[in-house]
C-alpha cells in the first residue's frame, strides 16, 4: 500500500470534515431526496481507486469496485450525483497527478450502472446533465 497517498487522503478527509463540506451539509434543492452518502464516505470508498487513477495498475481493484458500487447504491438523485462529483473533485485536488479520463472507466470495468464524468479541478459538476440523469 502506498502510505503517503493514504495519509494524504486521510488528511484531506479530515480537512473536508472540518470545513463542513460533506454532502449532507450542502443545501439540497427543494423536494430533493436526502443523500445517503457523506463526502467522507465517498472519499473512503474511492481511496482504493487511486492506484488505478494514477496508472499504477491496469484494472481497478476489487476494493475500488466495491467502493464504486457503494457510491452507485447511495447516489440515486441528481443532487446526490452532483454532490458526489463535487466531493471527488475536491478530494482529488490533493492527491497529485492522476488521469481524469480513467474515472469514467471505473464503473464500466467494475460492471456498475454508474456514469461518472472525467473529473479534475476544472470540472463543473453541475454541467454534467447526461451523467446526472442516469
Per-residue model confidence as pLDDT tens digits over 38-70: 999 999 999 999 999 999 999 999 999 999 999
Q: State how far the Cα of 134 lies from the Cα of 123, in Å rounded to an integer.
A: 18
Q: Provide CB contacts within 8 A for 78, sequence distance 6+.
A: 132, 133
More confident residue, 14 or 109: 109
Q: Which of helix, strand or coil describes residue 35?
A: coil
Span 86-97, pLDDT tens digits: 999 999 998 899
Band the pLDDT of 28: cuts 50, 70, 90: very low
**pTM: predicted TM-score of the whole model, two decimal places:** 0.71
Amino acid at each position: 500500500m502506498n502510505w503517503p497517498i493514504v495519509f494524504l487522503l486521510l488528511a484531506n478527509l479530515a480537512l473536508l470534515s472540518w470545513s463542513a463540506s460533506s454532502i449532507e451539509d450542502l443545501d439540497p434543492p427543494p423536494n430533493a431526496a436526502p443523500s445517503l452518502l457523506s463526502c467522507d464516505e465517498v472519499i473512503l470508498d474511492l481511496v482504493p481507486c487511486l492506484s488505478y487513477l494514477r496508472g499504477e495498475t491496469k484494472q481497478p481493484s476489487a476494493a475500488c469496485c466495491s467502493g464504486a458500487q457503494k457510491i452507485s447504491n447511495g447516489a440515486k438523485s441528481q443532487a446526490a450525483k452532483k454532490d458526489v462529483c463535487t466531493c471527488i473533485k475536491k478530494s482529488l485536488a490533493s492527491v497529485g497527478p492522476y488521469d481524469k479520463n480513467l474515472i469514467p472507466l471505473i464503473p464500466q470495468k467494475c460492471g456498475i450502472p454508474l456514469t461518472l464524468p472525467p473529473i479534475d479541478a476544472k470540472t463543473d459538476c453541475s454541467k454534467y446533465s447526461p451523467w446526472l440523469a442516469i
